[in-house]
Amino acid sequence: MVGVVERWQSIVIFALTALLCSFGLAVGGGPFVINTEGEPQVWNTTQPIPFHTDLGPLGLLTNAEAVALVEEALQVWEAVPSSSVSFTAAGSLPVNVTGSNVFSILGIAGDGISPIIFDHDGSVIDAILGRGASRDVLGLTAIELGVSDRILEAQAILNGAVLDGSPAQLTGADDVSRDIFLATIIHEFGHYINLDHSQINSELAFDGDVTNDDSLPTMFPIALDSESKSTLHFDDVATVSTLYPTADFLTSTGSIEGEIFLGDGAIPFQGANVIARRTVDRVRDATSYVSGALFKNNFGGGTGDLALKGRYKVSGLLPGDYTIEVEQIHPTFTGGSSLNPLDPPAILPGPEEFYNGEQEAGSTVEDNPSEKTEINVSAGEIVSDIDILLNTLKLEDSAIGLALELKKFKYKAKESGDRITAKLSVTDLGESIVNRPVSIKMWVSDDAIFDISRDRLVAMDEIKPENLTVGKPFDVKLKSGRLFGLDGKFGIVVIESKDESNQQSELMNQVVQRIGGRGCIKDSFRLERESNDSLANAQSLGKIGLSECVMVNATLTDNNNVVVDEDVFRVTVKEPAVLEITLTHDATNEFDALIFGLGRMELCDDVCSFVIPDGENVPVAIVVSPLIGVGSYTLNVQAALLD
């Protein structure tokens, strides 16, 4: 992870992904890096956190002055009485780092060095981010190496080109004052100890009044009044103390925790900014946490535990009465300015709102978004189950009569284009309210939040009311072919009915599945070798083990419009596994596959699984036959772990 400070008309503080680090970002008002177990990465504070300073100057600052500036910034974090953070100067770097030698120092995990690089003339930042980047970037910060929940090494780069006294017409950037640069370093060292951005009191950042900008946290993405950021906000103190608590922190402060749901109270919502404000000073005594902070994020970090997808926990609260509110993360906070786990930010499906106690509901009619219930927090207390149902439903909307359940979801990468197949079960939940055909549509999205204006419709089908029996599932299969570059996206399936409001059906009747690619540790492509039209002439695809794949591009041909061709392949499965087979073809053709092995046969029209419960080196035959038409097809075979 890299924290970057970029200059616009004001100074903008970024956090972005770079080659220097393989960790994923986390959320604002909380930790910066989350491991795959759902644990924040932290330094071991049984000993001071090390840093190694550069040998050279920093713009107009001598080396001694630059080192003093770094130590002054670190002292701001050390001075938090409820935090155990401390730092130690572990020595100097072996060289004076420049743009020509930076990669001999930077990004070398495991060398025991946490470099603080003084980029005297901007050449280091230009070498890393491209020529001219030093005109806009004040600094970079990265967590370089971590094991389990521990940070072992980090690194920072400070841009001396904005401290060199040169006029803007020569350098392309104005110099900044020492105080502004100090505030920037304090922010960057927040990232160094694993704090992410926070957007507490963001309305004050955009009101045109600079006199109130001291109510913004140091970790705010936009430093409109940077000099004020040398003093930590309550939110900064609460976050660093939660990550690095002193012995009495948990006993002297309290927490509020709960979950953010869509209006149905069942589907968790990730990416809402949750703020706790103490009623005696709602501006200054406020701290935040983004729902789903520990759940999977856009950059590969976080856990897959669905129980954490909408969870939040706001900690470090002084005893007193608090309100809890949910707000939209500012849409412009993307890329380097993002508050993660989601980039771009998730869009709230309804208005921003407060927790409303027993009146909490998913409808604005039943739950006024502006009404709030105060929550008393005592020292050492964790107040639980403060759940918020986002106002997404209208009271007059009819009850939803259908529900989706995902049975199978397959995504296969092919040379000629990717393909998605979703097998769904649609159930009438009670007395039927469906009196006209209902469409089921599948979309491809960059995130798990459905947005009809942005996402791409890739497949659809229709269910007629007469096919639905109350309480009985109705199976439907959606297929889309010849898609490209789907890794890291989501497949979203939605029921759309004219008997329901569009908003309600989109939010309530949907299933979301991440598209993760083939995920094969060994992946090979083959072309059909003619003639392979009988078991005796079966083409061997070799041996296949767990998480290994083979793909065959092939054709079926005819003779004077009389189909005579079949293709037969033989694969040997190394160990007990589920052999997953997918057959794709042009829309004008229809082919089936027969799988033979272990004394049994299974018919596969498009997607099927063939279980091999025991044994090793088990031979399996796959016969591809035409039902309609002739032409090209692709056969995918993958061995997966038995459940």
Q: Which two tokens stand for residue 296?
A: 């999977």
Lowest mean pLDDT among 35-39, 174-178, 369-373: 174-178
pLDDT at 211: 84
pLDDT at 101: 94
Lowest mean pLDDT among 57-71, 73-87, 363-377, 548-562: 548-562
Burial of 62 (0-12, 13-18, 19+ CB in 10 A): exposed
pLDDT at 398: 41
| Residue range 176-201, pLDDT digits in tens | 888 888 988 998 899 999 998 899 99
Q: What are phi and psi of 515, to 5 degrees?
A: -95, 105
Task: List CB contacts of 387: < 8 A, sequence separation 6 or more.
Answer: 258, 259, 260, 261, 265, 360
| Residue range 165-175, pLDDT digits in tens | 776 444 445 67
Task: List CB contacts of 442: < 8 A, sequence separation 6 or more.
Answer: 420, 422, 457, 458, 459, 460, 478, 480, 491, 492, 493, 494
Complete domains list, the chain, with CATH = 2-240 (3.40.390.10), 253-348+368-389 (2.60.40.10), 402-515 (2.60.40.10), 522-640 (2.60.120.380)
pLDDT at 586: 67
State the alpha helices, DSSP H only, in 139-233.
Answer: 168-171, 178-192, 202-205
Q: CA torsion, points 222, 226, 231, 235, in degrees to nearest 10?
A: 0
Q: Residue 577 pLDDT more than 70? A: yes
User: Using CA atoms, how far apart are residues 155 and 193, in angstroms rounded to an integer?
Assistant: 11
More confident residue, 9 or 459: 459
User: Using CA atoms, how far apart are residues 625 and 164, in angstroms rounded to an integer?
Assistant: 74
Q: Residue 71 pLDDT more than 90? A: yes
Q: Confidence class of residue 406 from pLDDT cuts 50, 70 and 90?
A: confident
More confident residue, 132 or 611: 611
Average pLDDT over residues 441-449: 83
Lowest mean pLDDT among 490-504, 517-531, 587-601: 490-504
Q: CA torsion, points 604, 607, 608, 609, in degrees to nearest 10?
A: 150
Average pLDDT over residues 542-553: 85
Q: Residue 414 pLDDT more than 80? A: no
User: Which of 99, 107, 85 has its CA nearest to residue 21?
Assistant: 107
User: Using CA atoms, how far apart are residues 499 and 45, in angstroms rounded to an integer?
Assistant: 59
Q: What is the mean pLDDT of the chain?
A: 82
3-class DSSP assignment, residue 584: strand
Q: Residue 131 pLDDT more than 50? A: yes
| Residue range 205-237, pLDDT digits in tens | 888 888 888 899 999 887 665 567 788 999 999
More confident residue, 568 or 529: 568
pLDDT at 587: 58
Task: List CB contacts of 462: < 8 A, sequence separation 6 or more.
Answer: 437, 438, 439, 440
Average pLDDT over residues 377-392: 94
Helix crossing, 63-78 with 178-192: angle to 10°? 60
pTM score, two decimals? 0.61
Q: Residue 411 pLDDT more than 50? A: yes
Paired sense of beta strands 548-556 and 522-527, if any: parallel
Average pLDDT over residues 439-444: 88
Lowest mean pLDDT among 66-80, 184-198, 338-352, 571-585: 338-352
Using omega within 30 degrees of 0 as the cis cutoff, is the peptide bond preceding 344 cis? Answer: yes
